[in-house]
Chains A and B, each alone.
Chain A
């Protein structure tokens, strides 16, 4: 039949690009994964008041370092290779810059809302002025000035409760990152539209569709209750 020949002929003519097929697919997959992951990596769902404090706190720090590395890797388009070092623990290969490992075998200092008095004071090594202040602390506290009392507090503690509870504005980073990656993905999709998609099928043109509809009506497709039933054959228009 002529129509089917025409249809078949148009099919064989369409050229699907072969070389560009797999790479954009992989890239878009990788980027969509990266788009999904920053919000989850950034998610600060561990609240400061959770009971399982230490491990999750350390994990949070580790994820922080991992995230920073990951973003740098993506931005420089090197991807997976950037995962080589995390800031928490890494046996260095004898470079000059060895990352310091926190000694977990000694009492540590934490600023936590649910642990008002951490295991050790903030400042361990006291200067002579600090030492004399500490001596004065052994006497009546009424004889201390306000500045001295504040100095004593700062010797023992790093952040006050108010400072601990201060909002960080981190949500702006998260939201910005999300929008950035959505935008970037949009650009990739746009590129794909022009360089990857096969040619537009002519069967979707309006002209072709009109001819198709006319043919369906001429064939009386579903004349009882369906397609052709909705066409008014006397008047030549839709009912």
Chain B
């Protein structure tokens, strides 16, 4: 039982124990004893494909984002970029800003994740014209 708990904590903490440059989405922490476990790359690819759907609708965007935020991980910048582009297709700037806020909140005590994500997303942000919450001044209550 202790080993199972240890395994769970290790897999759950994978996003923390990764080396510096990679704050990747880790696999959803499940302790299957059998069955194929999805790799990080497969997870990321699946979500990028989800948001890249050309005719994604607003409900799917909301559902996708809420589900993604529900996972015990901070999404990879490439997933977030796909989500932001989906917001653009749906003409929803507010949701795009909200997504950035949610990423910052998801990082919790790991303050270095959010600046890294912003740095990775900055070309997309400037291309689409999405302001960061800091630029709008809504990062402080």
Measured as residues with beta carbon below 8 angstroms from the partner, the interface class of chain B is 20 to 34
What chain B residues lie within 8 Å of A142 (beta carbons)?
129
CB of A1, distance to nearest CB on chain B (Å):
70
In the complex, the chain A residue whose C-beta lies closest to that of B59 is A119
A155 to B94, CA, bound (A): 8
Q: Which of A121, A142, A153 counts the most chain B CB atoms within 10 A?
A: A153
A143 to B65, CA, bound (A): 26
Say whether, besides A157-B98, A163-B141, A166-B141, A152 and B66 are in contact (CB < 8 Å): no
Chief secondary structure at chain B's binding surface: helix
Asked if B95 is at the interface of the complex by the 8 Å CB criterion, the answer is: yes
Say whether, besides A146-B136, A149-B93, A141 and B141 are in contact (CB < 8 Å): no
Asked if A212 is at the interface of the complex by the 8 Å CB criterion, the answer is: no
In the complex, the chain A residue whose C-beta lies closest to that of B63 is A117
Say whether, besides A116-B98, A117-B62, A157-B98, A150 and B138 are in contact (CB < 8 Å): yes
Say whether, besides A141-B128, A166-B141, A161 and B93 are in contact (CB < 8 Å): no
Asked if B48 is at the interface of the complex by the 8 Å CB criterion, the answer is: no
Say whether, besides A153-B94, A165-B141, A114 and B70 are in contact (CB < 8 Å): yes
In the complex, the chain B residue whose C-beta lies closest to that of A143 is B129
Measured as residues with beta carbon below 8 angstroms from the partner, the interface class of chain A is 20 to 34
Instruction: Name the one of A51, A138, A156, A163 contacting B94, with C-beta atoms under 8 angstroms.
Output: A156
Instruction: Name the one of B95, B104, B135, B141 contacting A146, with C-beta atoms under 8 angstroms.
Output: B135
- Asked if A161 contacts B95 (CB within 8 A), the reply is no
In the complex, the chain A residue whose C-beta lies closest to that of B127 is A142
Q: Which of B65, B66, B93 counts the most chain A CB atoms within 10 A?
A: B93
Interface set, chain A 135-189, CB cutoff 8 A to B: 137-138, 140-144, 146, 149-150, 152-153, 155-157, 160-163, 165-166
What are 29 residue pairs bridging A and B, where the CB atoms are less than 8 Å apart in the complex?
A: A51-B70, A113-B102, A114-B66, A114-B69, A115-B66, A115-B69, A116-B65, A116-B98, A117-B61, A117-B65, A117-B95, A119-B62, A121-B94, A137-B93, A138-B91, A141-B130, A143-B129, A150-B137, A152-B94, A153-B93, A153-B97, A153-B98, A153-B138, A156-B92, A160-B139, A161-B102, A161-B133, A162-B139, A162-B140
B-side residues, CB < 8 A to A, are 61-62, 65-66, 69-70, 88, 91-95, 97-99, 101-102, 104-105, 128-131, 133, 135-141
A-side residues, CB < 8 A to B, are 51, 113-119, 121, 137-138, 140-144, 146, 149-150, 152-153, 155-157, 160-163, 165-166
